[in-house]
Structure 1
């Protein structure tokens, strides 16, 4: 169905409206868009006439969007972002396409990036662009086609491919262990300074419960990323509960030592997630099919 022309305003007018809403003044919008203030005003007036709705009010020499116009601007902001993303993908790699992927910094660098050479060898026609994000976000307002996510596959409006269930182990530096009483049981770790990662607030409690220590009060210092908590453990500040893929290199070189026990599975896993509407994108499909072969879990169906 073809929409009436009045409901398809020009991109320049929509950009003017979006910029005015975001920046708060026609002067700032004009500067960002490299136009004159009068040009911005004309575009907004034309848009107002085309839609037949009051979009802005004059307060002195300033333009102020109506509440309805501000809501409209918020909606078209997502649409403009999607148009820009599609244009970038087309121009950067018109043959094989490109994929903008948000990754968790530690998992991305230690697990994904070492495997990407194989993907590049098999699929040189697809370009993968990586940026780090620590938390879920709105795909409509961020320039990403997919993301690596830890937790549960409950990211609204997405499908998911499970990559790896997290297995953790308690580690510390040899010097730290030499200066503290020996650990003979899981409960003994409660007498040591425990290091916590902000994104896994219940990790220590879950690990202790898995080893029969229920309801323990767990204290310690908190770190925002695995890179910092790993450095804290290396410098003897306490015991860190690290994913196996992060600890293996330092364990192999003797810089860290497993304090007690072995790998322990805890709740949560790493997923590739993507918006439902992107599911048939050729670059994403190619990457997802390849990544399924790298995953360690048996249940690989999107859900």
Structure 2
């Protein structure tokens, strides 16, 4: 539904208001906009007449936002930012459109990034913009088209597509395992344990799955899998790590399984997006491409297969 034009101030009025609200000074706003102070003052007056309330309190030589003006300034600033982001995205890729994707840091660097060139090669008109964040995004406020989500399928107000499950293993350096004489799951009760902030009860659930009572488990808190993996490789402790994120380290021997104790996580990886973006062409292309990647063998298997083919050619 079209918004009546009487509710849409001109950009010049909004620019003047935003600058004046940010500085709470008409002269500073005038300098920023290359206008006279009286011109900025007139534009603010015109906007106040249009919205029907005072946006600034004027006292002698100073101005201060009213409560209404402060709330309006926050909304206008956000709206101008959205316009700027949309224009920047269009200029960056006027033909194919952009996909603004929120990713989990380690999932993005270890699983998605190595595969992403394939998507870009198959879709040369699409630009992918990546944002990392540990907590779920709020699609009402965060300007992303989709996000990679781990956990339960309970993201309110979003469409979800299941990507994959996850198996975690207790991993550490070979030196730490040998030094502590770790031979069975019970031995981990006396080992330094590394805890992921986003999964604070992971070790409790692992010990419970092994039939071991573990009360008051302590240890270092780490906010990302990549950092936990590095700490484990450095001999700082044992970390519960997803196998698909540390395949390379396990193959090289930088990490070893502390014990034979793989466990399937209760959560899953999902692609989430707001319903209004379902028909967004770059998102549709990305979803189709993801399905092919999830059905394909791991990259290291593909690489070894390619090497073998070359050797027999």
TM range (shorter): 0.7 to 0.9
Q: Deviations 1:210-255 (Å, cap 9, x if unpaired)?
A: 2223453211111122222111111111101111122211110011
Bigger drift between 4-13 and 140-149 goes to: 140-149
Tell me: CA distance 1:260–1:191, structure 2 relative to 1, closer, same or farther (3 Å): same
After the TM superposition, which residues 215-226 of structure 1 pair with which residues of structure 2 at under 5 Å, given as runs? 216-226=215-225
Whether 1:286 aligns to 2:250 is no
Q: Is the 8 A contact 2:169 2:241 kept in 1?
A: yes
TM-score under structure 2 length normalisation: 0.84
Match of 2:89 in 1: 89
Change (3 A) 1:159 1:63: farther
Runs of 4+ in 1 over 6 A off after TM superposition: none
* Structure 2: distance between partners of 1:91 and 1:67: 37
Structure 1 residues 135 and 33, CA, compared in 2 at 3 Å: closer, same or farther? farther
Question: Counterparts of 1:60 and 1:150 in 2: how far apart (Å)?
Answer: 56
Consecutive unaligned residues in structure 2, runs of 5 or more:
296-313
Match of 2:302 in 1: none
* Alignment partner, residue 121 of structure 2: 121
Match of 2:204 in 1: 205
Aligned residues: 295
Flag the structure with larger Rg. 2
2-structure distance, mates of 1:173, 1:107: 22
Change in Cα spacing, 1:3 to 1:235, as seen in structure 2 (3 Å) is closer
> Where does residue 69 of structure 1 map in the other structure?
69
Alpha carbons of structure 1 residues 17 and 291: separation in structure 2 relative to 1, 3 Å: farther
Give the TM-score normalised by structure 1: 0.86
Contact 1:81–1:141 under 8 Å retained in 2: no
User: Match of 2:150?
Assistant: 150
Query: Deviation per CA, 1:138-178, whole angstroms, max 9, x where unpaired?
Result: 44554432222222344444322222223211001011111
Unaligned runs of 5+ in 1: 297-303
Note the alpha carbon deviations across 1:57-101, whole angstroms, 9 max, x for none: 113433222222322333333433332233223222122111122
